[in-house]
Structure 1
Amino acid sequence: MEFTSSHLAVLVISVLSYVLYKRWKDPLRKIPGPKGLPLLGNTFSIKPEQMHVQLYDIAKKYGAVTKISLFNTPIVILNSTEACLEALIKKGTDFQGRPPLPRMWIFNPKSLAAAPFEHPDYSSLHRVAVTGLKSYGSGVAELERIMETTVAETIDLLQGKDGQPVDTHELSNGYIGCVMASILFGERYSYDDPICKSIHEMNDRLIQAIDPYSSGAILDIFPFLINFPFLFKYVHENIAKSQDMLNGFIMARINEAKASFETDQKRGCLDYFVEAHRNGVNGTGHKFDDDCIKGLVIDFIAGGMETSLSSISQTFLDLLHDQQLQKRLQAELDSQFEPTQTITMKDKNKLPLLSAYVLENLRYMNATPFLIPHFTLKDTEVAGYQIPANTRVLINAYYIAHNPDIYPEPFEIKPERFLDEDGKVVEAGHPSKHNLLTFGAGRRICPGELLAKSRIFLLLANILHKFDLQPVGELPDRDVRKYKLGILLSPPHVTARFVRRQ
């Protein structure tokens, strides 16, 4: 039969009718959001490095639930605490999936952070991770001892500098790396230890290789391109080198831990992972294998390094910009402790202003402005909107943390937001805490929340007690709206002098 212009017209009309019908039936069309181009959506109007600012403006304009589309892939964004908690807590497992993350899965096929909630290894990975953190050594007290020891070494390091300029980013990186190495491997490490240096290098490599806003992101958008390494040679080479480094370093440590493992003398979290491996802890019929151990080690390093690094770097920037805040925090410390004393976690209740500042820092900085993306596992709804299965969902924690209706003057640093009328840190139900979603909520809440808060508190308390922070040269802007978004939101580096207090 000859294909005529009439046949072509019928075909075109049929295709258009199908597309229009699908669009009309799509429940996501009812969710408000900026209009985009056919097939491309909002791809060219969203600037990756300023996505936190753009989605903030979209939330202000369109409300609690909004939608954008990137390369014709719809993304639902939750912009209110109520909508977020409905999705993360009330809806159970509906929103607990993870969207496809091909590059991450190359590095870490058993990642707790990136694994879909329905993945057969998820439950065991989560259980072992929490057990390692809570039961390590003598429990939480042992974690605190490690951090306190590393803080003491940091103070000694700064005293040795004798007021010379210090790169606060490198200082923070060294402190966090030493704490992380000790928690994982159960030994005491100094700043120049090869293990700590390897952790720094490995973390930097990983961040570069999976940066969602680098050229490598094309592999996440179009996963089939992973099978064609000649098309994006540099990206594939970077991934291969990073993978070799990760596997070499981590597997060496795992093999060492296995060879020296003793049930009654666990040294660090890695020993708990090895014990799970020996016991086959899973409960789903899947073995807790070497990939599971490696996955948890990578998650601990990547998750524990970058977020705390951003927050601690922000504290130095705040204190250098605001000398009055620095003096207020020092006055509180001076009222409670002698100059030679070392502050520990047991002293936290004596320092409500400092504790409130830590919370304010986490609110303002919000290193993961959208948390880790979620993915609906079945047809569900939130805030009255129908959300189909397999829909990408972002938690706009950045907007909530800077919503002026919740936090007046949201781009100012005000620790008082987290203090009650008696000068004590507010309780969990207070609006300031209730709306703070920095670590997420529900079953996929970050298990390292306590560790992160403790690291910031201990370092800040002891440094401020011993030193005055003075800027070197012109200070960079500390307006979070001007920060560039990469895999995380990070403040600019700053150099300071740490001058011993008289």
Structure 2
Amino acid sequence: MAVSLVALLTLTLVVPLLSLLLLATKGPPRPQRADGGRRLPPSPPGGLPLLGHLHLLGRLPHRALRSLAASHGPVMLLHLGRAPTVVASSAAAAEEALRARDAAFASRPRMPMADRLVYGSRDISFAPYGEYWRQARRVCVLRLLSARRTRSFCRVRGQEAAALVARVRAAPAGCAVNLSDALISYSKAVVTRAAFGDGDYGLDGDRGGEKLRRVIADLQELIIAPSVREIAPWLGWVDTLTGLEAKTERTFQAIDGLLERVIADHRSRRLGGPQVLADGEADDHRDFVDVLLDVNEMDEDTGLRLDMDNIKAIITDMFVAGTDTSYTVLEWAMAELLNHPQEMRKLQGEIRAAVGATGDVTENHLDGMPYLKAVISETMRLHPPAPLLLPRETTEDTELLGYHIPARTRVLINAWAIGRDPASWERAEEFAPERFAGGDAPMDYAKVGQDLRFLAFGAGRRGCPGAGFAAPSVELALANVLYHFDWALAATHGRRRPPVLDMSEAYGLTVRLKEPLLLVAKPWSRQ
């Protein structure tokens, strides 16, 4: 049966594509000058009909694009399917696109899968640049992700960090712990509780939130899934044949049904009036749904009224942007520290000195851990959660490093290549946290766009508004696992313990370790 399916897919997909290639004498045109003689960016050879340069991207596009930039320069023009796409791979190009000419590069291209899964791109990440996006982003910055609102979730982060430590302690002594899985659970729990509150929300038949985790993982995978319909609309039936259409619809219905139940429950509770604490003050531990329902009833500051699809889209945004990004930073940080034991010992010494023998790592300790922040900064330089920032689209004819960029051109910023550019960083490929620890004013990784050599959270109008929310979640989790345990690589599949951890990557909405972190945790005690 499997062989028959493969044969059918070959006949229905590969053969038509090969026929097109045989009928064509050359790939898509690669104009060097636009109308009026203005110079377009250089374009690699080897473009194919229909596919353009898609075949050059391989399994790790951020690495393939850096290799192409080494030959063709920091600004290139590629044809990815039907979409002309400019790729920027240097800090100077990022500076111009994300700061000097930010308004011209501030929109988003139409992305069919995002439209399907995020309510017609009524969120913030994928919405086109315009009045709705400006007002919705303002609501997020001032209401959902403000410093005050972020502090209000301190209790949630503390409880989930304690649960993370307990999960590791529960492993039998000397046995391997799947730390990747524990970090995923932690990150998703923090975001879920911030978004929905402390209610027992889940999918039908879900035990321990595992089903919800899988659905969110499917959502994140599908948003960037290659859709044949987007490349060639007349081949859209292939998406049905491969099951992509059915999986997309199934995932959307699962998420939509959950959000409907959560919103209905919150509306019911709100009929009882605001919750009041024992001291008579109003309870400000409202979750994201509560805040967005306030705006739905009427935001007096902006006059913006959000409908239900807007609210659901923004909440979906929080899951997509807030879960994988946090856990992948934690996973890469642990991986780098395991391969650099001297740096791990230095960081553990700082954490254990700051916390003392109390055994209780809290957010109050984090300001006394500058090396912790340096380790996270260095991790995000080498392993930005999104190595290719979400694609932008130019709103008008503009320029980039002297090249003409027509309106409605897609633009990709290769944050991974910029973070490893030897023109910007000494020992660019090395893990060296001390580069962020010195000086009178070390870089704050949570300040978006502070340094255009470092784009872990993007920059400009489209910079991530959730950086301040993510920072304490990442710092608290990393401080806890390093305070309470000493770590070592585990032997796998009956083989001896490897001398270093394999740092191979798996590409997705974020780039994570290809293999999970299977580690041995030895509880630490000051006595």
User: Are residue 396 (structure 1) and residue 406 (structure 2) matched?
Assistant: no
Which of 113, 117, 123 aligns to 1:111? It is 123
Counterparts of 1:433 and 1:272, CA distance in 2: 32
Counterparts of 1:233 and 1:470, CA distance in 2: 42
Counterparts of 2:518 and 2:30, CA distance in 1: 57
Tell me which residue corresponds to 1:486: 508
Question: What secondary structure sits across from 2:249 in the alignment?
Answer: helix
1:277 Cα offset (Å): 1.1
Counterparts of 2:62 and 2:309, CA distance in 1: 34
Counterparts of 2:361 and 2:30, CA distance in 1: 65
Tell me which residue corresponds to 1:97: 107
Question: What secondary structure sits across from 2:159 in the alignment?
Answer: helix
Which of 343, 348, 354 aligns to 2:361? It is 343
Counterparts of 2:264 and 2:201, CA distance in 1: 23
Counterparts of 1:103 and 1:28, CA distance in 2: 34
User: Are residue 153 (structure 1) and residue 163 (structure 2) matched?
Assistant: yes
Look up the equivalent residue of 1:483 and give its one-letter code.
E
Q: Is the 8 A contact 2:145 2:466 kept in 1?
A: no
1:236 Cα offset (Å): 1.0
Tell me which residue corresponds to 2:194: 183
Counterparts of 1:100 and 1:485, CA distance in 2: 22
Counterparts of 2:64 and 2:411, CA distance in 1: 16
1:218 Cα offset (Å): 1.5
User: Are residue 279 (structure 1) and residue 319 (structure 2) matched?
Assistant: no
For 1:119-158, list aligned pairs within 5 A: 120-135=131-146, 139-158=149-168
* CA offsets 1:52-89 (integer angstroms, 9 cap, x no match): 11111122233331222223532111122232122222
Going from structure 1 to structure 2, the CA distance change for 1:243 and 1:26 (only over 3 Å counts) comes to farther
1:193 Cα offset (Å): 8.5
Most deviating of 156-165 and 52-61: 156-165
Counterparts of 2:189 and 2:499, CA distance in 1: 27
Counterparts of 1:63 and 1:20, CA distance in 2: 16
User: Are residue 251 (structure 1) and residue 260 (structure 2) matched?
Assistant: yes
Question: What secondary structure sits across from 1:74 in the alignment?
Answer: strand
Q: Is the 8 A contact 1:28 1:387 kept in 2?
A: no
* CA offsets 1:155-199 (integer angstroms, 9 cap, x no match): 222223253321112101110111111111222779998574354
TM-score (norm 2): 0.82
1:153 Cα offset (Å): 1.9
* CA offsets 1:29-70 (integer angstroms, 9 cap, x no match): 631231233645753641341211111112223333122222
Q: Is the 8 A contact 1:352 1:425 kept in 2?
A: no
1:385 Cα offset (Å): 1.5
Going from structure 1 to structure 2, the CA distance change for 1:160 and 1:217 (only over 3 Å counts) comes to same
Which of 369, 372, 375 aligns to 2:393? It is 375
Question: What secondary structure sits across from 1:313 in the alignment?
Answer: helix
* CA offsets 1:461-491 (integer angstroms, 9 cap, x no match): 11111100121115597676x4232232111
User: Are residue 33 (structure 1) and residue 43 (structure 2) matched?
Assistant: yes
Q: Is the 8 A contact 1:124 1:282 kept in 2?
A: no
Counterparts of 2:37 and 2:255, CA distance in 1: 43
1:121 Cα offset (Å): 2.7
User: Are residue 326 (structure 1) and residue 336 (structure 2) matched?
Assistant: no
Which of 171, 181, 191 aligns to 1:170? It is 181
Going from structure 1 to structure 2, the CA distance change for 1:22 and 1:157 (only over 3 Å counts) comes to closer
* CA offsets 1:268-323 (integer angstroms, 9 cap, x no match): 11101111111167958x74100001001100001101111211111222233332
- Give the superposed CA RMSD: 3.2
TM-score (norm 1): 0.85
Tell me which residue corresponds to 2:22: none
Q: Is the 8 A contact 1:339 1:466 kept in 2?
A: no
User: Unaligned regions of 5+ residues in structure 2, if any?
Assistant: 1-25, 275-281, 492-496
Look up the equivalent residue of 1:325 and give its one-letter code.
E
* CA offsets 1:303-351 (integer angstroms, 9 cap, x no match): 1011112111112222333322221111222333313332333322321
For 1:244-323, list aligned pairs within 5 A: 244-261=253-270, 262=273, 265=283, 267-279=286-298, 287-323=305-341
For 1:81-92, list aligned pairs within 5 A: 81-92=91-102
Look up the equivalent residue of 1:249 and give its one-letter code.
L
Tell me which residue corresponds to 1:10: none
User: Are residue 452 (structure 1) and residue 464 (structure 2) matched?
Assistant: no
Which of 473, 478, 496 aligns to 2:519? It is 496
Q: Is the 8 A contact 1:162 1:498 kept in 2?
A: no
Going from structure 1 to structure 2, the CA distance change for 1:198 and 1:293 (only over 3 Å counts) comes to farther
Q: Is the 8 A contact 2:329 2:380 kept in 1?
A: yes
Q: Is the 8 A contact 2:95 2:452 kept in 1?
A: no
User: Are residue 79 (structure 1) and residue 89 (structure 2) matched?
Assistant: yes
Tell me which residue corresponds to 2:16: none
Look up the equivalent residue of 2:215 and give its one-letter code.
M
Counterparts of 2:242 and 2:420, CA distance in 1: 41
Question: What secondary structure sits across from 1:94 in the alignment?
Answer: helix
Which of 242, 245, 262 aligns to 2:251? It is 242
Most deviating of 367-376 and 229-238: 229-238
Most deviating of 48-57 and 166-175: 48-57
Counterparts of 1:251 and 1:327, CA distance in 2: 48
1:130 Cα offset (Å): 2.0
Look up the equivalent residue of 2:321 and give its one-letter code.
G
* CA offsets 1:430-464 (integer angstroms, 9 cap, x no match): x9955111111111110111222222211111111
Going from structure 1 to structure 2, the CA distance change for 1:39 and 1:28 (only over 3 Å counts) comes to farther
Look up the equivalent residue of 2:177 and give its one-letter code.
V
For 1:12-51, list aligned pairs within 5 A: 25=35, 30-37=40-47, 39-40=49-50, 42-43=52-53, 45-51=55-61
Tell me which residue corresponds to 1:58: 68
Counterparts of 2:345 and 2:200, CA distance in 1: 32
Going from structure 1 to structure 2, the CA distance change for 1:96 and 1:211 (only over 3 Å counts) comes to same
Look up the equivalent residue of 1:456 and give its one-letter code.
V
Which of 211, 220, 231 aligns to 2:224? It is 211
Going from structure 1 to structure 2, the CA distance change for 1:26 and 1:150 (only over 3 Å counts) comes to farther
Going from structure 1 to structure 2, the CA distance change for 1:229 and 1:426 (only over 3 Å counts) comes to closer
Counterparts of 1:134 and 1:432, CA distance in 2: 19
Question: What secondary structure sits across from 2:47 in the alignment?
Answer: coil
- Count of aligned residue pairs for this structure pair: 475
Q: Is the 8 A contact 1:40 1:69 kept in 2?
A: no
Q: Is the 8 A contact 2:74 2:89 kept in 1?
A: yes
Among the aligned pairs, what percent are the same residue?
A: 24
User: Unaligned regions of 5+ residues in structure 1, if any?
Assistant: 1-15
Going from structure 1 to structure 2, the CA distance change for 1:132 and 1:497 (only over 3 Å counts) comes to farther
Going from structure 1 to structure 2, the CA distance change for 1:255 and 1:185 (only over 3 Å counts) comes to same
